[in-house]
């Protein structure tokens, strides 16, 4: 199957809600409710579990999707490394994207699998 690259930063650059963060701002905290996910339109975000840096998200990446998908609290803390613009995607918009945009759901699954593989290789 051919690999399809979605430019999520382009797809969401004119989203209804774009949140702005300064370097050092907390985007969301581990244990908090996860009613939405983000697409990084611009900037870099550090992802921590406890005090451990586990990932770095940058332009075009998703973050916070796990809590949106399974309705559980956040499993990590996200902190802006640089000034950042993040498109907020709630459950209704996420479901619309899954239905209306070919390969969006596949893209999200690939992101989740890549993260799981990276975590597995670190243990």
- Of the candidate ranges 17-31, 40-54, 107-121, the one whose mean pLDDT is the lowest: 107-121
pTM: 0.84
Confidence of residue 119 (pLDDT cuts 50, 70, 90): confident
- Quick one: average pLDDT of 82-99? 92
Q: Which residues pair with 80 in a beta bridge?
A: 45
Number of domains in the chain: 1
Question: Distance (Å, rounded) from C-alpha 121 to C-alpha 118?
Answer: 5
**Contacts of 9 by beta carbon, 8 Å cutoff, 6+ apart:** 39, 40, 41, 42, 59, 60
In a domain, 38, yes or no: yes
Domain assignment of residue 55, given as a range: 8-122
In a domain, 3, yes or no: no
In a domain, 2, yes or no: no
| CATH classification of the domain holding 52 | 2.60.120.10
In a domain, 69, yes or no: yes
- Quick one: average pLDDT of 36-45? 94
Strand order in the sheet with 62-63: 18-21, 84-90, 36-42, 62-63
Confidence of residue 52 (pLDDT cuts 50, 70, 90): very high
């Amino acid at each position: 199957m051919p690999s399809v690259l979605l430019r999520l930063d382009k797809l969401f650059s004119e989203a209804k809600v774009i949140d702005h963060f300064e370097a050092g701002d907390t985007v969301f905290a581990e244990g908090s409710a996860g009613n939405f996910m983000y697409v990084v339109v611009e900037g870099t975000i550090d992802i921590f579990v406890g005090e451990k840096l586990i990932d770095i998200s940058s332009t075009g990446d998703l973050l916070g999707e796990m809590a949106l998908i399974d309705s559980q609290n956040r499993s990590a803390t996200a902190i802006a490394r640089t000034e950042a613009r993040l498109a907020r995607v709630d459950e209704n918009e996420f479901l619309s994207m899954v239905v209306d945009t070919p390969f969006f759901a596949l893209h999200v699954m690939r992101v989740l699998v890549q993260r799981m593989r990276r975590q597995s290789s670190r243990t």
